[in-house]
Structure 1
Amino acid sequence: MNNSANEPISEKLDLKTKIAYGAGDLGPAITANILIFYLSPFLTDVAGLNPGLAGQTQLVGKVWDAVNDPMVGVMSDKTRSRLGRRYPWILAGAIPFGFFFFLQWIVPKFSNNPDGQQWGLFWYYTFISIAFGWLYTVVNLPYTALTPEMTQDYDERTSLNSYRFAFSIGGSILSVVLVGIIGSMFPEVRQRYLVIGAVCAVLGSLPLFWCVWGTFDRMKAIGLQRPESEQPVSIPIAQQIKIALSNRPFLFVVGIYLCSWLSFQLTAAIIPYFVGSWMRLNSPWAVPSVVLAVQLTAMLVLPLWNAASQRIGKRGVYAAGMVLWIIAQGGLFFLQPGQLTLMYVLAVMSGFGVSVAYLIPWSMLPDVIELDELQTGQRREGIFYSFVTFLQKVSLGIAVAIVLQSLGWAGYVKPTEAVQLPVQPDEVLLAIRLSIGPVPTIALLIGMVLVYFYPITREVHAEIRLKLHERKHNPS
């Protein structure tokens, strides 16, 4: 790509650029999916933390992101380098990101005293959670902030995000397949998690370099054509936050995203316990097969939702996907042990909704950012994306803490070498079913209401783009 500042670049992206951009979410998706589905049972059943401490250690790491995410977002907005604003962060964080992911699957010995060992493990995993969360932000937030910079076309952004989430869901699927394969090869549970951690650490880091290599020419051309996209932000951080929170469409996107991902992550946190303790399945492929049904469906229907969004709009697509997801989520509460076929049917239905939750909120966010540019005169992708990634992490932390604390209060019985699938008290089973059924369903219903009132349609976005174009070419 040899564009000069005087040669207008197309808002349509070529296939190579879309694929390379999508690859940037492969590594974070692999690591995030493993953590969502397997870190909680690892901490409680392998490391031996009691459920309450296991939930708290993850929540502390996510709360730290309240400082971490906006800080990285603002700093990346202010970065000036020959590589632009975003790439230095991705390149610097890629390898440490993989290394700290691996450290989460080690079980260090701190004390022969059970109480001392509990607290030693708590502080170890809390530190690792904070460090990995920070590194996840360092690589993923600048990456996601590339979306509105790469194209200003309303539908092309949805298409670009469909590539991103094809890789994201593909990474989730790959991680689950790896867990099944490695679980079959390594029957000793602690060794199994170490191998999973090592393999996924490598796979988590490498695609980030592919993303930088494959999109750099596009971003360099944009820097020549639209130099304002690479200008560091001058607004003080406190004022930036205030302006972002006064952006009404942004608050709608935040609410929509939070409702859908709180539902997903709450379900993901409880799935291993639901499949084992309630459905009484104990093979290495039991949990991976359910996750695969959801994620494979989500990936396959992404192109359908992408095409549908161009015909009925983002709000219509979101509503259609949520209806299927709500039916499936509510149905899980009534599912009985032995109803395996119905379990997979509900998992497939959930995949339709999860696909929409990946695609639509993220394709709404660039439109909100351009409204902010119209109001402030500056491009501030970092601060907006930092709020969303912060909420993603905090919703996960809260979901996991709620799930594990409720299991601890209800009297969760840990597996042992002799009894790998103990019978749980009725109170534990009820807590599991409530966490996978009614609670996520309520959040999804709230999200549906928010989408109905979301104000930026295709027509409104076109008007925003027109005003930005007029201001650029006819400055007052």
Structure 2
Amino acid sequence: MSHSSSAESPETLPIPKMKFWTKMAFGAGDLGTAMTVNILVFFLLFFLTTVAGLPPGLAASVPMVGKIWDAVNDPIIGVLSDRTRHPWGRRYPWMVFGAIPFGLFFFLLWIVPSTDTWVQFWYYVLIAIAFHTAYTAVNLPYATLTPDLTRDYNERTTLNGFRFSFSLGGSIFSLILAQIIFAMFPDDPGLKYMILGLVCSLVAVPPIFWCVLGTRARVAEVQAATGEEDEPTTLPLSEQVKIAFSNRPFLFVIGIYLFSWLAVQLTASILQYFVVYCMDLPEATFPQVAIAVQGTALVALFPWSRVSERYGRRAVYLMGMGLWIIAQAGLFFLRPGQVGLMYILAIIAGLGVSTAYLVPWSMITDVIDYDELNTGERREGIFYSFMVLLQKMGLAIGIFLVGKALDIAGFVESVSGQEIAQQPDSALLAIRIAIGPLPTVMLIIGIILTYFYPITRQYHEEILLQLQERKREREA
């Protein structure tokens, strides 16, 4: 599945093609983090309101606080990783030492520590903060490896295809696990969520070590071919922030990513409520619907990569978002009994979700090259961290507003052992708005930003040529 560096010839960038197993190892680094995030997005709010028994407004505050802290620690860990000096390089120590805490704190999120509402709330807030710190320590340095592994425009898209194949594969696997575990323990909601958290924790940690061991040699190979070393950046944080937000293509990318993932994760957060309360289906049906979305997204990744090679990332994103908007709008009008149509819309949505995974993360590597041309330094950590920071801030506020809207609309919470409560019409309408019109508006904004994104394939080729010329001048 490797692609030749057609845009950057061997005379320009004499970097060997990436081996298949290196791509596999890199992709594996996103398996465990995707599993945990997928379980959190799909199940945490539902778990807090129907198992722990927290009111929707208070329950929504837990992921909001966790995500806000996650957003705050992103630039901190991004800058620290940029400045790390270690025999393993800047990124790998964070992944290695953060892996075990990452798994442990995820498991602790699925324990009901008390029947007291405020004890529960503060327990979940503290564990969420600890988990998101460990998650960032692992995932942010991992994400910044992409430009260290290849400089080729098409190979980066393919590499991200491997990454998100593992990401979506992990997401699907976590849903299959949920379906199996829920079927084994149908009468004990608290136990089934705790076992799900434990199994996912045990599965999520080992792939992080596989990624470290499988990609280190490639990073060294690229450094040797380009004459670059994995040196910490020397610019102060304030200057880095100023340069990052004066980078016009970067502003487009974070906007595209923000609105794409607001649509993804808001839909994921409300989907279980939609299946159970609006479609009158058993809770066990929900993982099947989510698998239909993410399974389609997984299958579509590499066809979309091929389309991107021919027509460019912008065209791929616009096509994917157009399909996704059709699906989101259709969900609003869906009624109980239209189960077949629900699955058809889930498949159409999956085609769009696939491009939301693939395109923004491929664009950010171009932004890093553009910044290096303007500043003379590569600061992957600061760009990745601020990209994710703004996305998480927006997501935290979005999920909180959904929870508050359910609260205001009169959503009736329940606790473990109780039957699912009957919801008033106002709560059902709030769920439908959250799954239809809101994500649709976000996707339209993302389309507008993508249309005006300034770095085309040809412009990126010019950037790389100028960087190579600058390197020759320094050597001379």
State the TM-score, normalized to the length of structure 2.
Answer: 0.95
Q: Which residue of 2 aligns with 1:26?
A: 31
**1:224-235 paired onto structure 2 within 5 Å:** 224-235=224-235
Distance, in Å, in 1 between the alignment partners of 2:317 and 2:396 is 25
What amino acid is the match of 1:402? L
Distance, in Å, in 2 between the alignment partners of 1:122 and 1:283 is 24
Distance, in Å, in 2 between the alignment partners of 1:391 and 1:420 is 38
Instruction: Please report how far the alpha carbon of residue 118 of structure 1 lies from its aligned counterpart in structure 2 after TM superposition.
Output: 1.4
> How many residues matched?
462
What amino acid is the match of 1:314? R
Distance, in Å, in 2 between the alignment partners of 1:393 and 1:106 is 24
Distance, in Å, in 2 between the alignment partners of 1:107 and 1:386 is 32
**1:50-449 paired onto structure 2 within 5 Å:** 50-109=55-114, 117-187=116-186, 188-284=188-284, 286-415=285-414, 420-449=419-448
Stretches of structure 2 that go unaligned for 5 or more consecutive residues are 1-12
Stretches of structure 1 that go unaligned for 5 or more consecutive residues are 1-7, 112-116
Distance, in Å, in 2 between the alignment partners of 1:47 and 1:201 is 20
Distance, in Å, in 2 between the alignment partners of 1:416 and 1:96 is 29
Partner-residue secondary structure (3-state), 1:48: coil
What amino acid is the match of 1:245? F
Partner-residue secondary structure (3-state), 1:474: helix
Instruction: Please report how far the alpha carbon of residue 229 of structure 1 lies from its aligned counterpart in structure 2 after TM superposition.
Output: 4.7
- Kept in 2, the 8 Å contact 1:173–1:292? The answer is yes
Change (3 A) 1:336 1:229: farther
Instruction: Please report how far the alpha carbon of residue 226 of structure 1 lies from its aligned counterpart in structure 2 after TM superposition.
Output: 3.5
> C-alpha offsets along residues 53-85 of structure 1, whole Å, 9 cap, x if unaligned?
111121112112332000100111111111011
Identity of aligned residues (%): 55
- Kept in 2, the 8 Å contact 1:25–1:168? The answer is yes
Distance, in Å, in 2 between the alignment partners of 1:376 and 1:464 is 13
What amino acid is the match of 1:437? G
Distance, in Å, in 2 between the alignment partners of 1:241 and 1:440 is 30
- Kept in 2, the 8 Å contact 1:250–1:365? The answer is yes
- Kept in 2, the 8 Å contact 1:11–1:156? The answer is no
Instruction: Please report how far the alpha carbon of residue 418 of structure 1 lies from its aligned counterpart in structure 2 after TM superposition.
Output: 7.2
- Kept in 1, the 8 Å contact 2:54–2:413? The answer is no
> C-alpha offsets along residues 293-318 of structure 1, whole Å, 9 cap, x if unaligned?
00000000111100000000000000
Task: Please provide the CA RMSD for this pair.
Answer: 1.3
Distance, in Å, in 2 between the alignment partners of 1:340 and 1:73 is 44
Instruction: Please report how far the alpha carbon of residue 223 of structure 1 lies from its aligned counterpart in structure 2 after TM superposition.
Output: 3.2
**1:37-48 paired onto structure 2 within 5 Å:** 37-48=42-53
- Kept in 2, the 8 Å contact 1:149–1:229? The answer is no
Change (3 A) 1:229 1:278: farther
Instruction: Please report how far the alpha carbon of residue 224 of structure 1 lies from its aligned counterpart in structure 2 after TM superposition.
Output: 3.0
Distance, in Å, in 2 between the alignment partners of 1:68 and 1:418 is 37
Distance, in Å, in 1 between the alignment partners of 2:227 and 2:112 is 49
Distance, in Å, in 1 between the alignment partners of 2:306 and 2:243 is 33
> C-alpha offsets along residues 302-355 of structure 1, whole Å, 9 cap, x if unaligned?
111000000000000000000000000011000011100000000000000000
Instruction: Please report how far the alpha carbon of residue 403 of structure 1 lies from its aligned counterpart in structure 2 after TM superposition.
Output: 1.4
Partner-residue secondary structure (3-state), 2:336: coil
Higher mean alpha-carbon deviation, 93-102 vs 62-71, is at 62-71
> C-alpha offsets along residues 355-377 of structure 1, whole Å, 9 cap, x if unaligned?
00000000000000000001110
Distance, in Å, in 2 between the alignment partners of 1:67 and 1:83 is 26
Distance, in Å, in 1 between the alignment partners of 2:113 and 2:250 is 43
Distance, in Å, in 1 between the alignment partners of 2:417 and 2:162 is 46
Distance, in Å, in 1 between the alignment partners of 2:358 and 2:222 is 24
Instruction: Please report how far the alpha carbon of residue 119 of structure 1 lies from its aligned counterpart in structure 2 after TM superposition.
Output: 1.4
State the TM-score, normalized to the length of structure 1.
Answer: 0.95
